[in-house]
Structure 1
Amino acid sequence: MRVTKVFNNNVLLAADDAGTEVVLMGKGLAFQVRPGDAVREDVVERTFVAGGSTTPERIVALVDEIPAEDIDLTERIVTAARERLGPHITGHVVVPLADHISFALQRARQDVQITYPLQWEVLHLYPREVAFAREALTMVRDATGVDLPALEAVPLALHFVNAQFGAGELSRTVEMTEVFGAVLGIVRTRLGIEVDEESIDVARFITHLRYLFVRQQQGVAPPDMQGVLLDAVRGANPAAHAAAVAIQELLSERYAWTVTGDEVLYLTLHVSRLAGAVGAS
């Protein structure tokens, strides 16, 4: 690992052989060090992964403000989240999550109340992330003695959802959540049904939509299932297909995406499953 930039005597930016940038901290780590030098890895005390909106400079600025014990706590939470939610919970999450947790602790100690938008949507659309976020609140209480409000599970869950998209701006995940609510509104209106947001079918539908967002972000096409299948599904489920087309139009209008016929097919199948589940209940 080689040094690419020195911030101060204790903090530097380095890159590994694959070109991945990391911010490294350690007492005297960067003293009399120049770009191109090998990193004294035995002196490294902390490693932070840069990426997305979390630039090296932002990491350095935030870490300088966040108490070390809050960073330690966040690293433990991220490790536990990776075990519960999957390997997409990477080191990219540590700094933005530590920033949020540290600020939430400050507010709680000062008895400052805050509300969050999309509370209902987050609590119903991301049950796995919310369940772990509640575990994280227990970890915070055990480590600090501070009981954060139960609704802090909402932003924590959004951070874990956001990790699926490579730690980009959290605002994009908030916008995505708003779109999910609008998509379910289309299903209700077009099919004239009530949708149980806590059902397994809705969970599968939201999971599909999340991966649709990932595919669009990465420019990856879904598996090819169009052809005769699309005609068959459209003929058998015209209302579900109409809802899927309306969802396609919403995504195209909101994000200027090209939502392919294959994606419409998958959306139709999911919407049809939701309608079937309601009809069977």
Structure 2
Amino acid sequence: MIIKRVLNNNAVMSLDKNNEEIIVKGKGIAFQKKNGDSIDEKKIDKIFVIDNQDTNRRYQEILVNIPDDCITACEAMIDVIKQHVDKELSDKIYVTLTDHIFNLLERIQMGIVFDNTLLWDVKRLYRQEYQAGLLVVEMIRKTFDVKLDDDEASFIALHIVNAQINANFRDVIELTGMIDDIYDIVESDFALTIDKDGLEYTRFIMHLRVFFERIMNKQHMKSEKSQTLLNTLKKEYPKQYQCVMHILEYVSMKYEEPLEGEILYLLVHVIKLTD
């Protein structure tokens, strides 16, 4: 295995047997090495195979420009996240979360504090990710000896969601706001206050996350097989059906994807929330 680019003292870029770029890491693996030298395979700790070329390029930039102690700590944090969330994470979390934490540490040094009020109810919308975020916040405190509010867990949670649905961070922020708006629609249509600690609310939010993930990945539900059941529920629960139409009208303002196949599934959840 040959070094194609030295990234830092502990990381190099090489090529696999298919001539695809890989990132090879190990303590001191690039010490006194240069491009074209052989890699000491005994020093290899991790090999990152990143399919997305843009993510690969950005991670190489991270390895070149961010101190290795921060990168190593972030990798340990990502390992903890993977142990505590049950959805697969894309490799880009090594880019986005590492970059976020490095910039966070710089902001703390400069005394800059971000306002968290724009993150809506992240703690409730992404409960599992928020809990993982709290673990990461505690690791940041201990590793870098800094004071950090628990609110930072909300930002961490959104980066985790970002890696789950393979969207960009701006889309995740927007998606979070749309989920918040949708349960506002339900509350408004039925003049009720939804129990946000209840099981049905949690299931509804999880369905909305999957719903938006399908839209963003252009994976559409088919509706023809469920048309009979939909017609029955439409007659029995006309108000809930009308609420679902309000939801789809709102979503259609952002996305032009076909949504007919989602009606039944949204209707079932709205019925459970409101009946």
Q: TM-score normalised to the size of structure 2?
A: 0.84
Question: Contact 2:7/2:64 (CA < 8 Å) preserved in 1?
Answer: no
- Separation (CA, whole Å) in 2 of partners of 1:20 and 1:229: 50
**Matched residue of 2:13: which SS?**
strand
Change (3 A) 1:155 1:48: farther
Instruction: For residues 60-92 of structure 1, give each alpha carbon's deviation from its aligned partner in whole angstroms, at most 9, with x where no partner exists.
Output: 222222221111111111111111112513543
From 1, 4, 7, the equivalent of 1:6 is: 4
Secondary structure of the equivalent of 1:226? helix
Residue 186 of structure 1: aligned partner: 185
User: 1:215 aligns to what?
Assistant: 214
Please give the TM-score of this superposition, normalised by the length of structure 1: 0.83
Indicate if the aligned counterparts of 2:201 and 2:273 stay in contact, CA closer than 8 A.
Answer: yes
- Structure 1: 5+ residue runs without aligned partners? 277-281
Could you tell me how far 1:43 is from its partner in structure 2?
4.8
**Closer/same/farther in 2, CA of residues 76 and 9 from structure 1, 3 Å limit:** closer
Q: Which amino acid aligns with 1:259?
A: L
Shift, 1:56, TM fit: 2.5
Do the aligned residues in 2 keep the contact of 1:6 with 1:13 (CA within 8 Å)?
yes
Q: Give the match for residue 264 of structure 1.
A: 263
Structure 2 residues without counterparts, runs of 5 or longer: none
Any residues of structure 2 matched to 1:127-166 within 5 Å, and which?
A: 127-166=127-166
Q: In structure 2, what is the Cα distance between the partners aligned to 1:144 and 1:16?
A: 39
1:32 lines up with 2:52 in the alignment: no
Deviations 1:126-167 (A, max 9, x none): 11111121111111122222122221111100011112213x
Q: Relative to structure 1, is the Cα distance of residues 229 and 59 closer, same or farther in structure 2, using a 3 angstrom cutoff?
A: same
Tell me the distance in 1 between the aligned counterparts of 2:232 and 2:149.
50
Compared CA separation, residues 176 and 249, structure 1 to 2 (3 A): same
**Map of 1:76 onto structure 2:** 76
Please list, as runs of the form range in 1=range in 2, the aligned pairs for 1:79-90 lying within 5 A after superposition. 79-90=79-90
Contact 2:220 2:259 (8 Å CA) reproduced: no
Matched AA of 1:27: A
Q: Deviations over 1:38-74 (max 9, x none)?
A: 9765454554454669533222222222221111111
Aligned to 2:121, what secondary structure does the other structure show? helix
Q: Within 1, Cα distance between the matches of 2:119 and 2:202?
A: 17
Summarize the Cα distance change of 1:202–1:21 in structure 2 as closer, same or farther, 3 Å threshold: farther
What is the root-mean-square deviation in Å for CA atoms of aligned residues?
A: 2.8
Figure out how many residues of one structure are paired with residues of the other and give that number: 267
1:109 and 1:146 in contact (8 A); partners too: no
Q: Which amino acid aligns with 1:256?
A: E
